[in-house]
Amino acid sequence: MMELTLAISAGDHNALRAHLFPGDGLEAAAILICGRAGQSGERLCVSSVMAIPYEACKTRTPTRLDWPGEYLDDAIDKADAIGGSILLVHSHPGGYFEFSNLDDNSDQLSIPCLRHGSEDESIAHGSAIMVPDGEMKVRLYGPDMQVIQVKRVWRLGIDIVDISKVNAPYVLPFSSNMTDKFSGLSACVIGVSGTGSPTIEMLARMGFGRIVQVDFDKVEPRNLNRILNSTLADAQAKRLKIDIMESAARQHRPDIEFVSIGAAISDEEAITASSGCDLIFCCVDTMEGRLYCDLISEACLIPLIDMGVIIPTRDSENGLRVADVCVRIDYVYPGGVTLRGRGEITGEGLRAEDMRRTDPEAYACQLKEGYIKGVAEEAPSVIALNMQAASRAVMEAVARLCPYRHDKNSKFDRIFISLASGETDYELSCPPGPRGLRSIFGEGLKYPLLGMVARIQKNKAVA
């Protein structure tokens, strides 16, 4: 099994911390229902928080807590509904950042009950502690009650913070220490072309330890001018773009781990591989591709950075002219506003894409537009623009992991760059509404995957 990670949204973490530390100096308890993601279920995603009423605990002291067992049945039902894990979490008001002997003894009684009460007894459950500053230590138990430590606990909001350690040393942005930090992280890049190839190039050279790349396309002579590391020989051999990027990265990073998926992001293998990553970079140019990235981010609690470039045109007396040269960067975090909520994905746009794909005659009647609106360009000269977008997207990841801005990151949910006017606008997206009954938030790889019954074919069982 790969190293375990727990992901919790900043909103749920704030609510959990407020409940566990009500100000009376006594221990308190809650239950976390976690979806499971990743190829081996290595990413636990906090889907919901069950706060245990203070009065329901028979004993509450600064160092001891007696769990009320009647809440476990409800937790089992909720976890079974998503094929998920249960974490029993309580506070250590004194700040002791270890599991005590009392904690160990309690787990020996409660964890087997959770396992035997669950529909799938192979799913691991565990426990967690939180100290007053909000840091958490988490562990799961294997079939023989062997302890499996959760290496990272991500608090995901406007910043991406590992709260699995107390008094963690400060990491200076852009230093070799930042490279060391990134060596333990994984990133998924969806789309390995104009913006995706420079994104992968930067992530590899900045030290990311694991890169998942997803693209089914082969390099062609017409896109050699905007895919890094591609050659005429590659185009003649019809090599997959992902193979070109992996081969190039290994020339300077033999230690890097690559997972290369030659499929669309709608493929089950691609969804599963991307679901265990720490970050997703969306480098596609279709709404459908963005929709899948958005849903994976929501279901598996993965921060998403989406980028887009466009060159709108206008008619003039002398013919077609460039009206603007634009770059857009969106940072989407679990519990925040999705790309759907920001209007980047619409039903109308999805229907139009579907029609172009399924109705060749109608498609032939339309102008096939690319980067330059109103112009049918097979080999647009846009690598400089792509590099601008990719660089800003990667810098956004740096800002969230190792903050360097003078202002808080909350002001930079959306970035709009007009290269024609030399202006950059920043936008804070509106607060999201309450989670609906059909929300897939934190459900992980529950079937049907991403709640999309008709679009994803189930090829194999997900671990």
What's the CA gap between 426 and 432, in Å, rounded?
Answer: 18
Can you name the residues that pair with 429 across neighbouring β-strands? none
Can you name the residues that pair with 281 across neighbouring β-strands? 189, 305
Residue 219 Cα to chain centre, angstroms: 27
Of the candidates 127, 165, 140, 114, the one whose C-alpha atom is nearest the C-alpha of residue 30 is: 127
**Which residues does 224 contact at the CB level (< 8 Å), separation at least 6?**
230, 231, 232, 235
Distances, alpha carbon 440 to alpha carbons 300, 303, 346, 451, in Å: 9, 15, 18, 7
What's the CA gap between 397 and 384, in Å, rounded?
Answer: 20
What is the rounded end-to-end Cα distance, in angstroms, of the chain? 11
What's the CA gap between 114 and 112, in Å, rounded?
Answer: 5
Residue 169, number of CB atoms within 10 A of its CB: 7
What's the CA gap between 458 and 369, in Å, rounded?
Answer: 33
Token pair in block for residue 39: 């190829």
Q: What pLDDT, on a 0 to 100 scale, did the predictor assign at position 23?
A: 97
| pTM summary value | 0.93
Exposure of 400 by Cβ count < 10 A (0-12 exposed, 13-18 middle, 19+ buried)?
buried
Which pLDDT tens digit goes with each residue over 27-62? 999 999 999 999 999 999 999 999 999 999 999 999
**Which residues does 53 contact at the CB level (< 8 Å), separation at least 6?**
none
**Which residues does 5 contact at the CB level (< 8 Å), separation at least 6?**
42, 43, 44, 150, 151, 152, 153, 154, 276, 278
**Which residues does 419 contact at the CB level (< 8 Å), separation at least 6?**
324, 325, 326, 327, 385, 388
Of the candidates 450, 392, 456, the one whose C-alpha atom is nearest the C-alpha of residue 424 is: 392
Which pLDDT tens digit goes with each residue over 78-123? 999 999 999 999 999 999 999 999 999 999 999 999 999 999 999 9
**Which residues does 126 contact at the CB level (< 8 Å), separation at least 6?**
85, 86, 87, 88, 107, 111, 138, 139, 140, 141, 148, 150
DSSP secondary structure code for residue 10 in this structure: H
Length of the chain (residues) = 463
**Which residues does 428 contact at the CB level (< 8 Å), separation at least 6?**
410, 411, 412, 413, 414
Note whether 446 and 85 are within 8 A (CB).
no
Q: Mind listing the domains of the chain with CATH numbers?
A: 4-162 (3.40.140.10), 176-451 (3.40.50.720)
Strand 147-156 relative to strand 136-141: parallel, antiparallel, unpaired?
Answer: antiparallel
Q: What pLDDT, on a 0 to 100 scale, did the predictor assign at position 361?
A: 64
Residue 460, number of CB atoms within 10 A of its CB: 8
Q: What pLDDT, on a 0 to 100 scale, did the predictor assign at position 293?
A: 98
Averaged over successive runs of 10 residues, the pLDDT of the chain (463 residues) comes to: 88 97 97 97 97 95 90 95 97 97 95 94 96 98 94 97 93 97 97 97 98 97 94 97 97 96 96 98 95 97 96 82 93 95 91 77 53 58 94 98 95 94 87 72 94 54 33
